Structure formats: C-alpha cells, structure tokens
Structure 1
Amino acid sequence: MKAVVWYGPRDVRVTERAVPVPGPHEVLLQVAYCGICGSDLHEYADGPHAIPTRASHPASGARAPLVLGHEFCGTVAAVGDGVAADSPATGDRVAVEPHYRCGTCPRCRAGEYNICRHFGFAGLVGDGGPAEYAVVQSYMAHRLPPDVPLEQAALFEPASVALHALRRAGDVRSVAVVGLEPVGLLTVLLAARRGIRRIIAADVRPDRLALAGRLGATDLADARDAADPRRPDPRAGERIRRLAGAEGVDAAFEAVGSQSALDACLAATRRGGRTVLIGLAPRLAFDALALVNNEQSIVAGVGYRDTYPELIRLVREGGLDLTPVVTSVVPLEAVVERGFAALLERAGTDIKILAAPGRPRGAVFGRGVAE
C-alpha cells in the first residue's frame, strides 16, 4: 500500500509499505479520507514535537518513521483477536477518534482520557491515517449510522476540538473566536448550533471572515492593521469588545497560537470572563495584574473526550454540515506538495485539505469540492 510517512522535518514521503495486520483488540481500516491538521504542519515544518524518535511511545509502541495524520475515517476491512462483539465489524464505516488511552491512570479512571498519562494521537505518536490502510485500537473506531456519510466523518476530529473548547468555556451567551483556521471556523459553526446569541469572528483574511459569516457568526472583525495589512492590529481586541458592547464577551477562543491573538482575546473578554486556548504556541505572555483585577481566567483544551457520539447525533438528527471548511481533496500521492507544502506556504485560499487514499467518487463537500 501507499502511505504518507514522516522521516524528519521537511522530509515527508509517500512510500510503499506492507498492509498492516490488526493485532489483538485492533481493527484494520480501508481509509476514505484523512485531513491535514495544524499539528501535522508543525511536525512537517520543524518537528519532532510529539513524534517519538529515540524511543517507542508507551501507548503505541511506535517511533519514527511513522504515518503522519490523525483526522481520518474509513471502512473496517478486518478485525483482530479479542475485539468486543459490540465493536465495529468488517464492512462497517467508522470515524476514528485517535486518542490513545491506558484506561488505568487516575485521569482515565475519572473519564478524562484525553489527558491520560500516555496521552497521544494515532498519526502523531503512532501510525495514522494518510495511507490506503490503517490499523487502530478498536476503541478508537466509532460506527457510523447509514445516514451519516464519510464526508462528514472526515471532519469529526477537528470538530471535536471545537466542541470540547466550547464545553470548556461553560454556559455563555457571547463569544469571540480569534483566528479562523479550520478549528476556529468549526467553533463558530458549533457555537451557532448551540444557540449562542452573539458570535464575533476575527481574522486577518476577508475570505475566512466571509465564510465565518455563512457558518453563523453574528459579527465579523477584520483584525488587519490598517497601517500594514500584512500584520494583525494590536487593537483588534478593542474592536471586538466594541462589537460585543461595553462589557465584552463572556468567552474568547484563541485559535491561532500567537501572542497577538491572546492579547485580542483578553482585551475582548468581560470581567469574570474566560479565554480558552486552542491554538498551539510554545510560550505566551499576559498581564497577570490585569487578569487578577478583572478576575478573568485562561483555560486550555487539549483534544477532546466523549464528543463523537454528539457529533454523530447532530449530523444524523440535526442536519449539521461540517464540510464547508473543506477546500481541496487531493490524491494520496500528491499530499506532500498539494497538501503540507501548500498549507505551510499559505499562498492560496485553502483551509482544510483532505487526502483521499481510496479516491471515492461522487462526493461533494460544502463548498462544491468533488473528487
């Protein structure tokens, strides 16, 4: 089979590998789609960050080189020994929730498996989805009802990040989403589905602001600096705050991983409000005195837990459409040049790129992207 394999920074190759055989409690998938995530781009650009290179990861037993990519779905092709009778069976279509979990550490026992002591994702600490076939733990595979298409399931992983972040924000009536990468846009979409009254979307790209408006944002904040449109406006938070009213929003989502985005979130949030960190950044700074005096809080969200059943229900019963964020679907052999490199250069209008190892025909995504 063909697979997209990480060997080192800027060294990701489409290579030939043997089709893996599922071991105990594992299932083999024929992969339909695999999305490219921001964390994948970090590994491609200047990794390793999460990828184990010297020793095997304790949950996956793998180390580099490994198949890079964790947003995937497909059809069960075979099952290993010991797979429970109520787990997906051969022929079932599934969405993959790629969290490894030990099941025995204190956080797993408390149901918080996304912060397991052996936390990691298939596709980052073990082999993932941009391949013709992939093996995953059976607990990662969520069976899809007949009326939930794989095109929707391809977006369940980033949508889960957004849903978990919304849960971390608590009961809110107004929010700001700063940064309209795929997770930021999906946060806008799911905030609208949750009935949040005011949703302010902020970004430096007009095309992404326009899409956020179509996904349910009530207000759009152009975060470009008027003096230099290539840079974010240091007063963007004040602009968001004015849109929200004098007090500011109940919660803001930092969905970029940048200092300017965090500054905007804190400036836009009311006293007693909350900023939720979704984006990835090695180090951020804040005014601790202002944070204390305003009794604001900063919380983080990593991954998600117990989100896939809700997303399946929302697609099946509520007509939720996650696919408008998909802008390109590329064949597996082109995923490095037309996927990783294209997103890293940020030269085009792509938002979410999916690799389609099996090249399924006739699928139409929210913005008209077809195989």
Structure 2
Amino acid sequence: MKAAVWYGARDVRIAEVGVPAPLRGEVLVEVAYCGICGSDLHEYADGPHAIPVAEPHPASGATAPLVLGHEFCGTVAALGPSVTGLAIGDRVAVEPNYRCGACPRCRAGEYNICRHFGFAGLMGNGGMAEYAAIPAYMAHRLPETVSLEQAALFEPASVALHALRRAGTTPETVAVVGLGAVGLLTVLLAGERGVRRILAVDVSPGRLELAAGLGATDLIDAGREDAGERIHELTGGEGVDAAFEVVGSEIALRTCLAATRRGGRIVLVGLAQEVSLDAFALVNNEQSIVASVGYRDTYPELIRLVAEQHLDLTPVVTSTIVLDDLVSHGFEALLGGPGNQVKILVDPTAHRTGAAVPHPPADRTERQR
C-alpha cells in the first residue's frame, strides 16, 4: 500500500509499505480521508517535535520513520483477536489518542492527559495511508446519516469542543483569535452551544469571511486594527467573557488578554513556546488562563450533533488531494501563508495499488501500550 512516511524535516516520502496486520485488541481501517493538521505541518517543516526518534513512544512502541496522519476515518477491514463491538464493514471515525488506562489520570477519566499521552500519526503510525491498524478503543462506529467526509473533521472539531468546555459555563460573549480549521470550528461550535456573540479575529479576509458563514457576529481584521481595542469598543468597554488563543503566539495571547473582561477566562489552544505576560494586570483583572490539550469524550457528542442536529463541519474543507500530492499540494500549499487553504483532506485510496487485506492469526500478540 501507499503511505506518507516521515523520515525527518522536509523529508516525507510517499512509499510502498506492507499493509499492517491488526494485533490483539486492534482493528484494521481502510482509510477514506485523512486531514492535514497544523501538527503534521510543523513536523514536516522543522520536526521532530512530537515524533519519537531516539526512544520508542511508551504507548505505541514506535520510533521514526513512521506514517503521519491523525485526523482520519474509514471502514473496518479486519479485526485483531479479542476485538468485540465492531464488525468488518463498519464505518468509523478514529479518535487517535493513545491511553494506558492505568495511570491516575486515565482512572479519573481524563485520558487526554494520560501519563503516556500521544496520537496515532505522530507518536505511532497513522492514517496517511491506504490502511491503518489502530487500537479498537479509538474506533467510533458511525450511523448511516454521518458521511465519512464529516467524520474526517471530528478530530479538529474535538479540539474545538474540548476548548469550549474548558471555558467553563457557556459564556455570553467570546473572541476566537486565529481562524485556522480549529478556530473556525470553535466559532461554529460556540454558536451551536448557545454563545450569543462571537467575535472572530484573523489577518486573512478569506478566513474572516468563512467565520461569518459559520456564525461569527463580528469580524476583526488584526492586520488593519488593534484587535483588543476593537473588541473593547464592540463590547461597550467591557470585553468578552472568554477568549480562545488558537494561533500559538505571544501576540495572539496578548490580544486575548486585552480582549477579555475582568474575571474572564483565556483558553490556550495554540501551541506556543515561551511567552511573557503582565502578571500584575492579570491579577488585578482577576483573569484566568487555562490550557486545553486534545480532547476527551467528544466524539459521541459530535456524532449526535451531525446525525441528529444536522451540524455541518465541511465548510472548513478547502480542498481534497491524493496522497501522491501530499507534499506539493498539501504541506507546501499550507506553508505558503494565510491564503485560500484552511483544511486539506487527503484521499489515500485514489489510484490504489490493490494491496491485499491481511487476515491476522488468532495468536498475534498485543502491541506495547
């Protein structure tokens, strides 16, 4: 089968590799779509960041080179020994978090901050391939009313949903700073959760226009005006109840702090390095800063929203490409800066080579977790 294999920065190869056989507790998924995430982009541009190189990841046992891609979905093609509750032919969305199930955080239900936290496609082999073998607990069966294209967006939508939950009680007003796919989905889901006023901030007119279509009530072009000051003007000098930093930069964090009211909350979603802030002002304004990493228990809610409430996640998809074009029309297109591309989906089964699906023997052992 074809797969996108990460060997190093600027070295992702579309290679012919063997179809993996699912081991004990695993399923083999025939991948329908896999989205390109900002994390994938960082690994391609100047990684490794999360990809294990020297030591195997404790959850997956994997080291580079490995297959990229954690935003994926598809159809169950084979079952490993001891798998129950799934059948060949089931359409599934993949929740790619590794979890040990035994550490204190897992026992508390907070598996997104498991001691051995990681993602298939970053810390182990993922879905930028025709087939992917994953732990069965990652697979969520889809009702017929949920398309695979929608399911391909559950991973970034989960990041947005978890961030909204981290904001606490549903706020009346929010600012979303940064309108990549996760920022745009935060706008969409904020409206779905009853937020009355949603102020969207970006430097791209095209992304601001997309945000308007997804429910943003106010658009602020941060390339043309001071976003924090503008938000205070629009809210009568009060500021918003909660602001979401979805860029990963000190400038965006400062915008969120300036835009948030006294007693409000800033949710960090973007991945920044070291930042500085005015702690004196933070204390005097009694603002809270909370972090949001990954997600937990989000897929059932998203499946319900799409199946029953007809929530449409697909407006954030700006193109679908074949696996052979991943580097040229995927990574390089996104590295070109803010433009027409937001979420690019990869269809790894186009021009399939016809690889056979393996049937695992009953005595295969479980991968290290």
TM surpasses 0.5: yes
Q: Which string of whole-angstrom CA distances, capped at 9 and with x for unpartnered residues, describes residues 321-354 of structure 1?
A: 0000000100011111100111012264100001
- Aligned residue number for residue 211 of structure 2: 212
- Residue pairs, 1:82-101, within 5 angstroms: 82-84=82-84, 86=85, 88-101=86-99
Out of 100, 103, 106, the residue aligned to residue 105 of structure 1 is: 103
2:194 is matched by which residue type in structure 1? G
1:241 is matched by which residue type in structure 2? H
- Aligned residue number for residue 117 of structure 2: 119
Structure 1 distance, partners of 2:197, 2:15, is 47
- Aligned residue number for residue 186 of structure 2: 187
- Aligned residue number for residue 40 of structure 2: 40
Structure 1 distance, partners of 2:165, 2:350, is 35
Contact 1:32 1:359 in 2 (8 A): no
- Aligned residue number for residue 31 of structure 1: 31
- Aligned residue number for residue 60 of structure 2: 60
2:183 is matched by which residue type in structure 1? G
- The answer to whether residue 308 in structure 2 is matched with residue 309 in structure 1 is no
- Aligned residue number for residue 231 of structure 2: 240
Question: What percentage of aligned pairs have identical amino acids?
Answer: 72
Structure 2 distance, partners of 1:110, 1:41, is 32
TM-superposed deviation, 1:69: 1.1
Structure 1 residue runs of 4+, over 4 Å off?
Answer: none
- Aligned residue number for residue 161 of structure 1: 159
- Aligned residue number for residue 223 of structure 2: 224
Distance 1:292 1:347, change over 3 A: closer
Unaligned stretches of 5+ in structure 2? 352-369
- Aligned residue number for residue 72 of structure 1: 72
Distance 1:125 1:262, change over 3 A: same
Structure with more relative contact order (C-alpha pairs < 8 Å, separation 6 or more): 2
1:185 is matched by which residue type in structure 2? L
**Segment of structure 1 superposing worse, 96-105 or 333-342:** 333-342
Out of 138, 141, 144, the residue aligned to residue 142 of structure 2 is: 144
- The answer to whether residue 273 in structure 2 is matched with residue 275 in structure 1 is no
TM-superposed deviation, 1:178: 0.4
Taking only aligned residues, the RMSD between alpha carbons, in angstroms, comes to 1.0
Q: TM-score, normalised by structure 2?
A: 0.93
Contact 1:198 1:244 in 2 (8 A): no
TM-superposed deviation, 1:245: 2.4
Out of 280, 284, 288, the residue aligned to residue 275 of structure 2 is: 284
Q: Which string of whole-angstrom CA distances, capped at 9 and with x for unpartnered residues, describes residues 117-156 of structure 1?
A: 0000000000000100001000000000111110100100
Contact 2:55 2:63 in 1 (8 A): yes
Aligned length: 350
Q: TM-score, normalised by structure 1?
A: 0.93
TM-superposed deviation, 1:259: 1.2
Please give the secondary structure, in 2, of the residue aligned with 1:180.
Answer: coil
Please give the secondary structure, in 1, of the residue aligned with 2:280.
Answer: helix
Distance 1:347 1:192, change over 3 A: closer
Please give the secondary structure, in 2, of the residue aligned with 1:212.
Answer: helix
1:162 is matched by which residue type in structure 2? A
Structure 2 distance, partners of 1:240, 1:255, is 17
Please give the secondary structure, in 2, of the residue aligned with 1:102.
Answer: coil
